[in-house]
C-alpha cells in the first residue's frame, strides 16, 4: 500500500502550502483552432479565442465542495499516461495526496476531483458564470511555482465553433498562448512552447472521453511538466473539453490522473448555458460606432 500524504508526515516539505505571488494564474483564455473534422483532425481556418465566461443571465450558481471517494479506478490508458509522465518528465518522488474533493463550476456544467490541498479554486461564487474550473495550491503564485489543473467544456456546432476544433491544433495553440513561468499581471514570462520540450502527441482514452494529449517537459530546465489534453465525449454529445495542467512531482501526476478519470460535463446544462449566452447576446443593443477621427501626426 502506498504511503499517504499527511501534513505531519516526516519528509514532506511545506512548499505546497503558503506560496506567495502577485497575480492569479489563468489558463482558460487561450487561442484555439477555428474548426476541424468531426474526429478532431486539424483544421485549417484562422484561430479564434475561447470565451468561457458570459454575462450573468439568471443561471444558477452551483458550487460544490465535498469530499470525493478515497479511491478511483483509472482506465488503463490514463494509468499509462501517468506512468509515462513520471518517467519522461523525471518527476521528483512525493507522497500521494491523502484527500480529494469534488470541484464544480458556477453554472452546474463541469465537475472534477482535485486534491484537497488544491484549495485555491475558481470560479468564485461572485465571478461571471463559466463552464470552467481551475484548482491550485495558490492561484496567485508565480506560474512555475505551483501545480494547477484547469478544465473547461465548450459546445461545437454553434456560432462560436461551427465544427469541432482539431485536437492537435487546439493543444499547440494553447501551448503557444499559455505561460509556463512568470506572471500574468503584468504578463511577463515564457510560454509553454518557448520554455518546455514537447513530446509527441498521444492518444487519450479516459473511459468517458476520447482525444489527444501531449507532454511538455523540462520546463525552464526544471523537473516539472505541462500536460495538455483535448477530447470529446464517447456519448457523441456535441461538445469538447480541454485540460491544461502543470505537475511538479509524482503526487501531482497522480492527481492529474485522478482528474482525467473524473471529468464530468452535464451536456443538458451546457446546452442551456449556451442558449442563455446566445439569447443575452441577441438581446444586447448593437454597439454604437464611434465617430471617425484622424489622429494627429506623431511629433
Q: Could you please report the per-residue DSSP string of 204-232?
A: EE-SSEEEEEEEEESGGGSS-EEEEEEEE
Given this model, what pLDDT does residue 71 score?
79
The confidence score (pLDDT) of residue 189 equals 92
pLDDT for 65 equals 64
Mean pLDDT computed over 269-289: 84
Q: Are 110 and 264 within 8 A, CB to CB?
A: yes
Does 149 fall in a domain? yes
Q: Which of 263, 280, 240 is nearest to 59 (CA)?
A: 280
Structure confidence at residue 124 as a pLDDT band (50, 70, 90) = confident
Q: Does residue 24 or residue 172 have the better pLDDT?
A: 172
The better pLDDT of the pair 41, 98 is held by: 98
In a domain? residue 105: yes
Host domain of residue 146: 31-53+60-69+76-278
Q: In the prediction, which pLDDT does 278 show?
A: 85
Residue 299 has pLDDT above 50, yes or no: no
**Could you tell me the pLDDT band of residue 290, with boundaries at 50, 70 and 90?**
very low
CB 90 within 8 A of CB 215: no
At 70, is the pLDDT very low, low, confident or very high (cuts 50, 70, 90)?
Answer: confident
pLDDT at residue 72, rounded to an integer: 86
Number of domain units in the chain: 1
- Look at residue 10 and tell me if it is in a domain: no
pTM reported for the whole predicted model: 0.75
In a domain, 94, yes or no: yes
**CA 63, CA 80: separation in Å to the nearest integer?**
32
pLDDT value, residue 73: 86
**Among 15-19, 105-109, 147-151, 154-158, the least confident range:** 15-19
- Residue 119 and residue 218: Cα distance in Å, rounded? 26
Asked whether residue 296 is assigned to any structural domain, the reply reads: no
Q: Does residue 16 fall inside a structural domain? A: no
Tell whether the model's pLDDT for residue 268 goes beyond 70: yes
What mean pLDDT value characterizes the chain?
Answer: 79
Residue 112 falls inside a structural domain: yes
Cα–Cα distance, 52 to 217 (Å, whole number): 27
157 part of a folded domain: yes
Q: Over 50: is that where the pLDDT of 197 sits? A: yes
Residue 289 pLDDT class (50, 70, 90 cuts):
low
Amino acid at each position: 500500500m502506498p504511503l499517504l500524504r499527511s501534513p505531519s508526515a516526516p519528509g514532506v516539505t511545506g512548499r505546497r502550502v503558503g506560496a506567495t505571488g502577485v497575480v492569479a494564474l489563468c489558463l482558460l483564455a487561450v487561442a484555439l483552432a477555428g474548426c476541424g473534422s468531426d474526429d478532431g483532425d486539424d483544421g485549417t481556418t484562422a484561430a479564434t479565442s475561447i470565451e468561457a465566461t458570459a454575462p450573468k443571465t439568471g443561471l444558477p450558481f452551483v458550487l460544490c465542495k465535498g469530499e470525493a471517494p478515497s479511491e478511483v479506478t483509472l482506465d488503463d490508458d490514463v494509468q499509462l499516461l501517468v506512468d509515462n509522465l513520471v518517467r519522461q518528465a523525471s518527476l521528483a518522488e512525493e507522497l500521494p495526496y491523502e484527500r480529494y474533493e469534488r470541484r464544480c463550476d458556477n453554472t452546474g456544467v463541469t465537475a472534477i476531483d482535485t486534491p484537497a490541498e488544491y484549495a485555491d479554486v475558481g470560479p468564485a461564487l461572485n465571478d461571471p458564470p463559466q463552464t470552467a474550473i481551475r484548482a491550485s495550491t495558490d492561484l496567485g503564485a508565480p506560474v512555475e511555482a505551483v501545480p494547477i489543473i484547469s478544465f473547461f467544456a465548450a459546445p461545437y456546432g454553434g456560432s462560436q465553433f461551427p465544427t469541432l476544433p482539431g485536437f492537435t491544433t487546439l493543444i499547440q495553440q494553447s501551448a503557444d498562448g499559455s505561460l509556463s513561468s512568470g506572471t500574468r499581471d503584468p504578463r511577463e514570462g515564457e510560454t509553454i512552447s518557448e520554455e518546455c520540450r514537447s513530446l509527441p502527441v498521444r492518444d487519450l482514452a479516459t473511459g468517458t472521453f476520447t482525444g489527444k494529449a501531449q507532454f511538455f517537459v523540462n520546463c525552464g530546465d526544471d523537473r516539472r511538466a505541462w500536460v495538455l489534453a483535448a477530447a470529446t465525449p464517447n456519448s457523441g454529445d456535441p461538445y469538447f473539453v480541454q485540460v491544461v495542467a502543470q505537475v511538479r512531482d509524482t503526487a501531482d501526476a497522480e492527481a492529474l490522473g485522478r482528474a482525467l478519470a473524473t471529468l464530468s460535463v452535464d451536456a443538458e446544462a451546457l446546452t442551456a448555458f449556451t442558449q442563455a449566452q446566445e439569447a443575452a447576446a441577441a438581446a444586447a443593443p448593437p454597439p454604437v460606432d464611434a465617430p471617425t477621427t484622424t489622429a494627429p501626426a506623431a511629433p
